[in-house]
């Protein structure tokens, strides 16, 4: 895993959980890493398509929007 588990546990705690199992923290960490990699891959593609090596905030925002649209509005 690339992301540290403790901050992910704090995210769950901030959502209102008084206690969190190690398995729950690990599961959310894997999901966040998978989603983050998908977003980053799309953002890199957008930057390359625009002729840039640098990934910009707008690339990440567009990637999130594209992925959200795909997951929530597909036929």
pLDDT tens-place string over residues 6-20: 999 999 999 999 999
Return the exposure string of 54-66: e unless at least 16 CB atoms fall within 10 Å of the residue's CB, then b.
ebeeebbebbeeb
pLDDT of residue 72: 67
Q: Could you tell me the pTM of the whole model?
A: 0.83
The answer on pLDDT for 71 being more than 80 is no
pLDDT in tens, 23-67: 999 999 999 999 999 999 999 999 999 999 999 999 999 999 988
Q: Of 66, 75, 13, nearest to 35 (Cα)?
A: 66
28: three-class secondary structure by DSSP = helix
């Amino acid at each position: 895993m690339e992301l540290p588990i403790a901050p992910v546990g704090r995210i769950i705690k901030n959502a209102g959980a008084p206690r969190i199992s190690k398995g729950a923290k690990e599961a959310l960490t894997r999901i966040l890493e998978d989603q983050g990699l998908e977003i980053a891959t799309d953002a890199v593609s957008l930057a390359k398509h625009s002729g840039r090596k640098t990934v910009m905030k707008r690339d990440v925002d567009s990637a999130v929007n594209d992925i959200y649209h795909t997951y929530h509005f597909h036929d």
